[in-house]
Amino acid sequence: MAAPKKEVDTESRILDAAHRVFLREGTSGARMQEIANEAGVNKALLHYYFQNKQRLADAVFLRVVRNLFPAVQQIFESDQPFEDKVRAFVASEFDTMDANPYMPGYVISELQQQPGRIKALLESSGPPPLDAIQGSLDKEIAAGRYHPITAADFFLTALSLILYPYAARPGVTMLTEMNGESLDAMFARRREMTAEWLLRMVRKSSSEP
Amino acid sequence: MAAPKKEVDTESRILDAAHRVFLREGTSGARMQEIANEAGVNKALLHYYFQNKQRLADAVFLRVVRNLFPAVQQIFESDQPFEDKVRAFVASEFDTMDANPYMPGYVISELQQQPGRIKALLESSGPPPLDAIQGSLDKEIAAGRYHPITAADFFLTALSLILYPYAARPGVTMLTEMNGESLDAMFARRREMTAEWLLRMVRKSSSEP
DNA sequence: GTCTATATGGCGATAGAC
DNA sequence: GTCTATCGCCATATAGAC
């Protein structure tokens, strides 16, 4: 720790490069040579630090899923009104996705192609905070303000609305082009609208019993 | 056409096997040997019929995306009430997905790893029927019954709600296990609820101006 | 720790018998 | 059309100099 180097160390440079390449191309599509190029080092160094391709891929996967849920946990355990929690959660997820737009597609691909990794995901990310969500929801439902819904359904629906457009980004580009609109404009609008859409889905309208 | 054979011909057996293997493992993750095994033929036959791996992968991709939108087009051009169209569309998509659960994850992976394929997708699937949707939506919006929304947003939101749970199926399994519920039960419930959720998102409640 | 050079194996692809 | 046998490359992985 004494005398910190200006440049990040080689191991981190490799891991960062591997992160970018694996997320773009998937584990099986990525080449060690391309990672080495992107890291600005020789191919042999990847093996020096990470032994083989599988271990390097595992390290990237763990780093990606490690920070999936902690922010959510904090938000739903706070003491804001439920609808503010939802808005904060949606905003937080959009921020994360803008910083890692390839993440949803990557995680979907990896889990489909290597289902065994779901175990590593759970251990590394911790469970999604269903209990905290359910507690908040049940209060609204009991008060007659919301339609009944399980926390799992609400959570999955929220993730669907937020993550799918990023995962399917090339297809979304196609949609926006038909619209004469930019992809960024569409995402910006959905960032604002998604929380309200979610809330309209669960709120009872005033005329309902 | 005269004297139809009992068994499907070899080329179709190969294409069917390739379909299953590519959808599970992705184009770069799949092995020609595994496709040959699954088709019950020798590896050399794959090259006899499809020349090389890329052409075989292209044939599968085209077959997968060819039938993405036609059913949607018909539904939204019919003369039912708009909300019935939405219900029919959602039911139709769920049927398609139950028959091809790996499809969303596969398409997402392929487009992320080979963005150039979006062009082939468009030509093969035809454009999504945004105009028909927009027409139906605008009537409801002009009548003051719906919040303003673009057809692109409505369509993308619908696809998100339907397709994401299939694409993220291993993660959804994790959710249902925490719930003490089966995956099938969750999908069955969402098949019933998704259209209503969509409609609640756009309907104005009676107290709103 | 970092490099160059090389070994090893696997996979796509082909040749050729039947 | 279908098979067996084999080629040739390319990606992973290692050896060893510096």
pLDDT tens profile A157-180? 999 999 999 999 999 999 999 999
Compute chain A's Rg from CA coordinates: 21
Instruction: Return the bridge partners of B203, or none.
Output: B146
**Mean pLDDT, rounded, of chain A:** 93
Range A19-42 average pLDDT: 98
| pLDDT at residue A63, as a whole number | 95
Position B163, amino acid: L
A207 pLDDT higher than 60: no
Query: B203 by DSSP, 3-state: which?
Result: strand
Position B63, amino acid: R
| pLDDT at residue B192, as a whole number | 98
Alpha carbon distances (Å) from B39 to A123, B16, B60, B83: 37, 8, 14, 44
| Token pair in block for residue B149 | 């929304």
In chain B, pLDDT over 70 holds for what percent of residues? 95
Compute chain B's Rg from CA coordinates: 21
Would you give the end-to-end CA distance of chain B in angstroms? 64
CB-based contact A108 B190, cutoff 8 Å:
no
| pLDDT at residue B4, as a whole number | 47
Question: B136-170 pLDDT, tens per residue?
Answer: 999 999 999 999 999 999 999 999 999 999 999 99
| Token pair in block for residue A92 | 């937080």
Give the side-chain half-sphere CA count within 13 A for A120: 16
| Token pair in block for residue A176 | 């926006």
Q: What angle do CA B45, A27, B106 make, to 5 degrees?
A: 60
Chain A residues within an 8 Å CB radius of B189: 153
Lowest-pLDDT range of A107-111, A164-168, B48-52, B121-125: B121-125
| pLDDT at residue B6, as a whole number | 47
Phi first, then psi: what are they for B146, rounded to 5°?
Answer: -120, 150
Q: Name residue, tokens 């804001």.
A: A80
Please check whether residue A35 is in contact with residue A14, taking contact to mean a CB–CB distance below 8 angstroms.
Answer: yes
Region at A179 (left for phi over 0; alpha for psi -120 to 50; beta for the rest): alpha
Q: How confident is the model at residue A148 (pLDDT cuts 50, 70, 90)?
A: very high
Positions in chain C where some atom is under 7 Å from a protein CB: 1-5, 11-16
Question: B20-48 pLDDT, tens per residue?
Answer: 999 999 999 999 999 999 999 999 999 99
In angstroms, how far is CA B3 from the centroid of its own chain?
35
Region at A126 (left for phi over 0; alpha for psi -120 to 50; beta for the rest): left
Any strand C atom closer than 7 Å to A13 CB: no
Spatial distance between the Cα atoms of B59 and B51, rounded to a whole number of angstroms: 12
From A141's Cα to the closest Cα of chain B, the distance in A is: 16
| A55 CA vs D11 C1’ separation (Å) | 16
Is residue B124 within 8 angstroms of chain A, CB to CB? no
Position A16, amino acid: D
Range A11-21 average pLDDT: 98
Range A62-71 average pLDDT: 88
